[in-house]
């Protein structure tokens, strides 16, 4: 068999995985796409190992050994990745990557709570919701208000 067949198949698998990583919004589908890319690399490793072993009879088959190592690393990666995705899904209620990225950046500026364009908020000089003129409230009054 020619080396071109598995190389073309591996290139197609890798491109499909790359498209999945770049275009998908679900974290589990992104992990599956990464697995596709790793399997394309494994296919190339085995194909080139077989192609190079035809030259000499006593080879170590290092490509196949490296493929086994890559499979073990991929299994650990998918286990840890799924654990992280499940923990994030429990805390945030979604596994959408764009939403998770937006929440990681923190609150946007210009909102009503940070003294934005409306002039109200803890850092502005205008009146707050409680009618004060931005004066700091003592800690014991805050504790009484919470209790």
User: What's the pLDDT score for residue 38?
Assistant: 94
In whole angstroms, give the CA distance from residue 29 to residue 22: 11
Mean pLDDT of 83-112: 75
Model confidence at 132: pLDDT above 70 = no
Mean pLDDT of 53-79: 86
In whole angstroms, give the CA distance from residue 31 to residue 79: 10
Model confidence at 108: pLDDT above 60 = no
Q: Which residues of 56-92 are buried (b: 16+ CB within 10 A; e: fewer)?
A: eeeeeeebbeebeeeeeebeeebeebeeebeeeeeee
Which pLDDT tens digit goes with each residue over 80-94? Answer: 999 998 998 898 888
User: What's the pLDDT score for residue 21?
Assistant: 94
Range of lowest pLDDT (10-14, 40-44, 55-59)? 55-59
User: What's the pLDDT score for residue 94?
Assistant: 82
- Higher local confidence (pLDDT), 40 or 147: 40
């Amino acid at each position: 068999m020619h080396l071109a067949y598995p190389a073309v198949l591996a290139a197609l698998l890798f491109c499909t995985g790359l498209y999945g990583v770049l275009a998908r919004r679900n974290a589990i589908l992104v992990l599956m796409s990464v697995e596709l890319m790793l399997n394309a690399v494994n296919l190339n490793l085995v194909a080139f190992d077989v192609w190079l072993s035809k030259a000499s009879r006593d080879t170590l088959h290092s490509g196949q050994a490296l493929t086994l190592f890559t499979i073990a690393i991929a299994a650990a990666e998918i286990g840890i990745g799924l654990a992280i995705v499940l923990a994030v899904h429990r805390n945030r209620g979604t596994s959408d990557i764009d939403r998770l990225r937006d929440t990681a950046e923190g609150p946007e500026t210009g909102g009503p709570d940070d003294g934005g364009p409306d002039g109200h908020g803890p850092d502005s000089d205008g009146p707050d919701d409680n009618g004060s003129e931005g004066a700091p409230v003592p800690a014991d009054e805050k504790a009484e208000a919470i209790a």
